Amino acid sequence: MNNVFLTGFMATGKTLVGRWLAQRLGMPFLDADVEIEREAGMSVADIFDRLGEAEFRARERRTLERLCALESAVIATGGGAVVDPRNRAAMRASGVLVCLTADPDTILGRLGSSRDRPLLADANGREARIRSLLGERAAAYGDAELIIDTSQRSPEEVADAIVEWLAGARVLPIRNSLR
């Protein structure tokens, strides 16, 4: 327990921030998507493609349950993991949720020409898709102890801000927003 879960939309920096944060805290870092890929023996894109999104979500749920049993780890989650309230409840029982955000233009810019996110595979209409998913998921992303906008911050700066917040926020629940 005492885990730190990084949640938030695709390309908000969860993996990069997670690595820095884990280093700063002297804790192991795990990426839920990497764990899902390792267990499945195929990429997230292939799981979506061959088995479908529902099967990906079932695997995501099982993997998160396993990760929630860890002690003192920094865990980055896939952008859709918090949509299922059962996942949020499991993570909350196992640690704190820190949600990284970014504005749609920043997300679009960071994604560049990458094609590895099945939900944003269609380059046409990508911005509209980002905006609609952000809208649909707003409440799920808002359900976190700390929310940090990463649009104008480097991964190191975000990690430092989280370390600072953790140092002063041992008593939960605390809701905070660093904009």
- Interface residues toward ligand S3P, by CB under 6 A: 10, 14, 33, 44, 78-80, 117-119
Residue 67 Cβ, how far from ligand S3P at the closest point, in Å?
14
Q: Of the two residues 99 and 162, which places its CB atom closer to ligand S3P in the complex?
A: 99
Q: CA 120, CA 165: separation in Å to the nearest integer?
A: 32
Output 61 or 117, the one with its CB closest to ligand S3P. 117
- Kindly calculate the radius of gyration of the chain based on its CA atoms and give it in whole angstroms: 15
> 96, 79, 100: which is closest to 161 by C-alpha?
100
Cβ closest to ligand S3P, residue 10 vs residue 67: 10
Give dist(CA 102, CA 179) in Å, integer.
10
Nearer to ligand S3P, 54 or 167 (CB): 54
Q: Which of 78/155 has CB closer to ligand S3P?
A: 78
Q: Give the DSSP letter of residue 151.
A: T
Least distance in angstroms from the C-beta of 33 to ligand S3P: 5
Sequence-ordered list of residues with C-beta below 8 angstroms from that of 27, at least 6 positions apart, any chain: 4, 21, 72, 73, 74
Handedness of CA 43, 38, 136, 86 (dihedral sign): positive
- Cβ at position 74, least distance to ligand S3P in Å: 14
Q: In the bound complex, what is the minimum distance in angstroms from residue 115's beta carbon to ligand S3P? A: 11
* Angle, in degrees to the nearest 10, between helices 155-168 and 14-25: 50
For the bound state, the minimum distance from the C-beta of residue 61 to ligand S3P, rounded and expressed in Å, comes to 12
